[in-house]
Amino acid sequence: MISKVAIIILNWNGWEDTIECLESIYQIAYPLYDIILVDNGSKDNSIQKIKDYAEGKIKVESQFFDYSPDNKPLYLKEFTKNELDSSVSIKKSIDSLAPNKNLIIIKNDNNYGFAEGNNIGIRFALNNLNPDYILLLNNDTVVDPYFLKELITVAESDSLIGILGPTVYEYKSPQVIQSAGAKIYWNKGEVINLTPNENKYSDEPENVDSVIGCALLAKSELFHKIGYLNKDYFAYLEETEWCVRVSKASYKIVYVPKGKIWHKGGATSNKITGFTLFHHTRNKFWFMKKHSSKKQYISYLIYFFGFRAWMIIGGIFYRQKNKEILPSLISFLKGIRDGILT
């Protein structure tokens, strides 16, 4: 029996990236999936542009694939967040959709962040589509035709595997590995993306501490047992925090080398000065307070205030434009304050 996958893609003012991602998915060699596009209150006419793509009115150009008009038009269903929160029956209205050729759009009234934006899509999938797996996929990615098949094959080889991630390559340098899973260095509070050298590269799946959130496949049962992404994080480290919760529940986190995607990175967060600095800094304190031991947390504080903070401040002055230095510093300091005090 073929496992069913619900693919959740979050869009916020990034329709050009999103339709390239969508086109790559509609060309994958996997027979049973639904795509749920969650729009986080975009103001750039994203919804209409994505609908135009679904109708075959926009031809997508990419270095990774040739555009195919054969899978258009897509079967399209739209829902607002208010409709999902109401008692309106949704399930019957999507029963007629054809697998692999449908697009479900959820229109949020506001930007709920990466964590809650994905949670909205996950809840919809679990309540209405009955998937065996949930795939969280960033809109600024392009996928290999066989990536999902590789992930599912490994997932079904071991009932204790809960989360899987592919090899993530750089979009602009397609042979460069951005992430091959991640390792958590608890004494420093660092989550480091693993990037194996080619001469050490293996096709065999490996257990890791976490996988990068731009492409995370999870068994649906986990959301019932462990819960959803922590919405308070808004963006950054929410997938790592969730991976740790899953690991504490005795599930394995596995990196699958044969699964391949390409990731642009920062396509959304770079639009707002200080966004990454604030959320990453605050969330790191929250993450360490919740999941590290007392000894590890003290070690982290010493490392952060004795070394890491000064490196970040130096980087702000070195990398940022003059007009962005003060807002970036303020964002960083607010992240420290909120991370420690809340």
Of 217, 234, 265, the one marking the end of a domain is 265
Task: Please check whether residues 164 and 147 belong to one and the same domain.
Answer: yes
Task: Please check whether residues 291 and 252 belong to one and the same domain.
Answer: no
pTM over 0.85? The answer is yes
Q: How many domains does the chain have?
A: 2
pLDDT at 92: 66
Q: What is the 3-state secondary structure (H, E, C) of 183-211?
A: EEECCCCEEEECCCCHHHCCCCCEECCEC
pLDDT at 100: 74
Task: Please check whether residues 255 and 276 belong to one and the same domain.
Answer: no
pLDDT at 318: 87
Task: Please check whether residues 233 and 304 belong to one and the same domain.
Answer: no
Task: Please check whether residues 294 and 199 belong to one and the same domain.
Answer: no
Of 214, 231, 265, the one marking the end of a domain is 265
Per-residue pLDDT tens digits for 281-299: 999 999 999 999 999 999 9
Task: Please check whether residues 58 and 207 belong to one and the same domain.
Answer: yes
Of 265, 298, 329, the one marking the end of a domain is 265
Domain of residue 238: give its range: 5-265
Task: Please check whether residues 215 and 303 belong to one and the same domain.
Answer: no
Task: Please check whether residues 167 and 18 belong to one and the same domain.
Answer: yes
Sign of CA dihedral 197, 202, 206, 211: positive
Q: pLDDT below 50 — which residues of the chain?
A: 198-199
Task: Please check whether residues 240 and 150 belong to one and the same domain.
Answer: yes
Task: Please check whether residues 247 and 206 belong to one and the same domain.
Answer: yes
Task: Please check whether residues 281 and 162 belong to one and the same domain.
Answer: no
pLDDT at 201: 61
Task: Please check whether residues 123 and 226 belong to one and the same domain.
Answer: yes
